[in-house]
């Protein structure tokens, strides 16, 4: 931390501009990157625009945009004048966006072209300005004659304190109501700086960004962190489908990437595993541990080439990684790394690099962060994870009651996650305390553990285990496209056949799961869920919608 005497976002940016001025910082894939100096000049021009709009320190300014260079420029422009950024997830519904704008009392919103329609019917008087973030043109303003002017600089100098509010991030959580998490300059800056201790990053490194910048995970670790290290960040213009992502990987050849478990789990189940189970011979050979490791090493080399061949850090966070998939990554010698955190903690609390991963652990606490297991069970050592440190939020915006529920008087934040700390201070997450199911004998049943078994059954895309009338029920979404491919010769009868096949698979699955889980975790019923489950930005299923 000594290298960073002032922990504010503008101070971090100025330090990097001085140090890495002519280095590339942000770009779309296949476009010329802006240098750090060019980024800073454009940031100043946007701050000048905000001044013309009469935005004052403390005012809230919303940012509803897909990932692009101008997202980051706008973010720093708002934060550098002491105003508060309100990043909004692009996947939020119109109703959710309306609620955020009303609750935050945002005076202006920067919106990207493809998301304009989501705010066209918003009529609240508090929103005075609407700006197209793609080119900073004015869509609507209560003040006349305002326009973006390249090369302009702010009229004022702003003194930003470490404990000033920097952002309000509205979470799209797995447990219900969206809350505005207040993070200060010090919260975010200290977390980015401490994250340097996990993995060495330098000015030659390249990040490929595929997660939304409006989520704290990508914002702090995939944006602020690379900027303080002088690295470059590349964005893609379309959703990261394989057809878009594969050419981007080939072009950028990223050295670091951040992702969520669902992405790598899909790659394993849809691409890797089928190649080893397509014939009876390979399936038999793959079942032999020594041969499986050899197969996985070969698959790992192929996966590395797919990701551009220069990857050294493939960060996975946002949810628990499936144990079977993690075993594959380890045997494949793929450079995966694990982290754990929450929006309320800016986000990272614990993490580990690719050289030091341990199966199913999220690593040790970040520098400056203290973790403890509150009221650990005598036999299991499990308990709720509590955290303390400089990255813990200021509180929930306009919600002192909710804040006091999760913050103790002496500064501990109750994460709501259950876990274990081993003798070497490595953290192991068991699950969300709110999603734990209490068995008839008082046993703790972790639905995530059962779902991990279900998700490794053939043709399962995703699953959710809930309790209904005292029974454990598995809701399963099968990969219908995969089943169609397998039985496409049936033509006209295909649709009816798939329904029958899903019912048949459900019965098979019931037996498959119950011989692989403990006696308390056996499921009583499997139901077919036709649609994909609703998810958060980090692809966790919103359990509250189904429980």
Task: Return the CATH number at 40.
Answer: 3.40.50.12780
**Looking at residue 416, what is its pLDDT?**
93
Q: For residues 170 and 35, state if they share a domain.
A: yes
DSSP β-bridge partners for residue 64? 88, 111
Residue 455 main-chain phi, psi, to 5 deg: -70, -10
Are 328 and 337 in contact, with CB atoms under 8 Å apart? no
Query: CA-to-CA distance for 50 and 318, rounded, in angstroms?
Result: 33
Q: Report residue 283 CA to chain centroid gap.
A: 34
Structure token pair of residue 424: 């070497």
Tokens 């119950």, located at residue? 514
* Pick from 355-359, 432-436, 491-495: least confident: 491-495
Banded model confidence at residue 133, pLDDT cuts 50, 70, 90:
very high
Position 80 pLDDT exceeds 90: yes
Q: pLDDT at position 340, please?
A: 96
What is the per-residue pLDDT for 264? 93
* Same domain membership, residue 470 and residue 365: no
387 domain residue, yes or no: yes
Region 42-57 average pLDDT: 98
* The total number of residues written for the chain in this structure: 547
Residue 375 lies in a domain: yes
Share of the chain above pLDDT 70, in %: 97
User: Where residue 534 sits, what CATH number does that domain have?
Assistant: 3.30.300.30
Q: What is the pLDDT of residue 490?
A: 60
Highest mean pLDDT among 173-182, 226-235, 316-325: 226-235
> Does position 175 have pLDDT exceeding 70, yes or no?
no
Same domain, 89 and 189: yes
Q: Is residue 99 part of a domain?
A: yes
φ, ψ dihedrals at 211, nearest 5°:
-100, 155
C-alpha angle with apex 330: 381 to 262, nearest 5 degrees? 80
Phi, psi for residue 305 in degrees, rounded to 5: -65, -40
How many CB atoms sit inside 10 A of residue 23's CB? 17
Helix (H) or strand (E) holding 262: helix 261-267
Distance, first Cα to last Cα, the chain: 44
401 and 498 fall within a common domain: no
Greatest pairwise CA separation for the chain in angstroms: 74
Pairwise CA distance, residues 214 & 464, whole Å: 26
User: For the residues 39-68, what does the mean pLDDT come to?
Assistant: 98
Same domain assignment for residues 327 and 418: yes
Mean pLDDT of 359-374: 97
pLDDT for the residue 297: 96
Give the residue among 461, 434, 430, 462 at the shortest CA–CA distance from 448. Answer: 430
396 is in which domain, residue-wise?
256-309+311-432
* Claim to verify: residue 347 and residue 410 sit in the same structural domain: yes
Give the contacts of 460 (CB within 8 A, at least 6 positions apart): 454, 476, 477, 478, 479, 509
Asked whether residue 48 falls in the same domain as residue 156, the answer is: yes
Are both 426 and 456 inside the same structural domain? no
- Exposure pattern of 400-409 as b/e (b: 16+ CB <10 Å)? eeebeebbee
Asked whether residue 264 falls in the same domain as residue 284, the answer is yes
What are the two backbone dihedrals, phi and then psi, of residue 386, each rounded to the nearest 5 degrees?
A: -110, 145
Q: Are residues 420 and 480 in the same domain?
A: no
Distances in Å between the alpha carbon of 206 and those of 67, 71, 197, 301, 380? 16, 18, 18, 20, 42
The pLDDT of residue 63: 98
Q: Quote the number of domains for the chain.
A: 3
Q: Is residue 234 part of a domain?
A: no
DSSP annotation of 347 reads: S
Asked if residue 22 has a cis previous peptide bond (ω within 30° of 0), the answer is no
- Model-level pTM greater than 0.85? yes
Mean pLDDT across the chain: 92
Report if residue 79 sits inside a domain: yes
Given a cut of 90, whether residue 169 has pLDDT beyond it is: yes
Say whether both 211 and 294 belong to one domain.
no
Q: Does residue 381 sit in helix, strand or coil?
A: coil
Are 426 and 488 contained in the same domain? no
The confidence score (pLDDT) of residue 174 equals: 46
The answer to which of 24-38, 107-121, 350-364, 516-530 has the lowest mean pLDDT is 516-530
Q: For the segment 194-241, what is each residue's pLDDT rounded down to a tens digit? A: 999 999 999 999 999 999 999 999 999 999 999 999 999 999 999 988
Please, which pLDDT band fits residue 173 given cuts at 50, 70 and 90? low
Q: Which residues of 69-86 are buried (b: 16+ CB within 10 A; e: fewer)?
A: bbbbbbbbbbbbbbbbbb
Q: Which of these, 493, 476, 373, 346, lies nearest to 429 by C-alpha position?
A: 373
Q: What's the gap between Cα 32 and its chain centre?
A: 27
**CA contacts within 13 A on the Cβ side of 4:** 25
DSSP state at residue 87: E
pLDDT at 145 over 60: yes
Residue with tokens 């050592």: 381
Q: What is the dihedral of CA 501, 531, 448, 427, to 10 degrees?
A: 130
pLDDT number for residue 442: 60
Is residue 233 a part of any domain in this protein?
Answer: no
Residue 488 has pLDDT above 80, yes or no: no
């Amino acid at each position: 931390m000594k290298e960073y005497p002032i922990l504010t976002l503008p101070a971090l940016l100025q330090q990097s501009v001085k140090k890495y001025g002519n280095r590339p910082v942000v770009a779309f894939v296949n476009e010329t990157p802006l240098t750090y100096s060019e980024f800073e000049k454009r940031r100043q021009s946007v701050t000048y625009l905000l001044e013309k709009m009469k935005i004052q320190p403390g005012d809230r300014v919303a940012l509803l945009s897909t990932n692009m260079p101008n997202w980051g420029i706008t973010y720093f422009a708002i934060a550098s004048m002491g105003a508060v950024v309100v990043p909004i997830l692009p996947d939020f519904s119109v109703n959710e966006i309306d609620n955020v704008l009303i609750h935050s009392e945002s005076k202006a919103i920067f919106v990207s072209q493809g998301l304009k329609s989501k705010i066209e019917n918003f009529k609240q008087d508090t929103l005075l300005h609407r700006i197209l973030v793609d080119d900073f043109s004015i869509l609507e303003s209560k003040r006349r004659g305002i326009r973006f002017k390249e090369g302009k600089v702010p009229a004022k100098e702003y003194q930003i304190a470490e404990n000033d509010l920097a952002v309000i991030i509205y979470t799209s959580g797995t447990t219900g109501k969206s809350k505005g998490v207040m993070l200060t300059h010090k919260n975010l800056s200290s977390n980015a700086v401490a994250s340097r201790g996990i993995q060495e990053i330098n000015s030659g490194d390249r990040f490929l960004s595929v997660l939304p910048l409006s989520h704290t995970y990508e914002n702090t670790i995939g944006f602020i962190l690379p900027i303080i290290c002088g690295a470059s960040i590349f964005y893609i213009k379309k959703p990261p489908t394989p057809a878009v992502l594969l050419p981007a990987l080939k072009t950028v050849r990223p050295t670091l990437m951040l992702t969520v478990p669902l992405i790598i789990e899909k790659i394993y189940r849809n691409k890797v595993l089928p190649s080893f189970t397509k014939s009876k011979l390979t399936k038999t050979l793959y079942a032999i541990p020594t041969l499986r490791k050899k197969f996985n090493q070969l698959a790992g080399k192929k996966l590395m080439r797919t990701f551009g061949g220069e990857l050294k850090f493939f960060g996975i966070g946002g949810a628990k990684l499936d144990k079977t998939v993690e075993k594959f990554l380890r045997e494949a010698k793929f450079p995966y790394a694990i982290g754990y955190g929450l929006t309320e903690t800016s986000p990272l609390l614990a993490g580990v690099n690719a050289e030091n991963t341990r199966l199913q652990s999220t690593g040790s606490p970040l520098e400056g962060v203290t973790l403890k297991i509150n009221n650990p069970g005598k036999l299991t050592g499990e308990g709720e994870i509590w955290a303390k440190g400089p990255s813990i939020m200021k509180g929930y915006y306009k919600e002192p009651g909710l804040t006091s529920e999760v913050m103790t008087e002496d500064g501990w934040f109750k994460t709501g996650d259950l876990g274990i700390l081993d003798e070497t201070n490595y953290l192991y997450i068991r699950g969300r305390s709110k999603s734990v199911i209490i068995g008839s004998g008082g046993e703790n049943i972790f639905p995530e553990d059962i779902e991990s078994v279900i998700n490794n059954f053939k043709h399962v895309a995703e699953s959710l285990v809930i309790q209904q009338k005292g029974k454990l029920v598995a809701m399963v979404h099968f990969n219908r496209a995969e089943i169609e491919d397998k039985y496409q010769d049936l033509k006209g009868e295909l649709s009816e056949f798939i329904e029958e096949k899903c019912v048949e698979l459900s019965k098979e699955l019931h037996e498959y799961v119950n011989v692989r889980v403990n006696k308390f975790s056996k499921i009583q019923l499997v139901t077919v869920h036709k649609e994909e489950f609703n998810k958060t930005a980090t692809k966790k299923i919103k359990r509250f919608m189904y429980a």
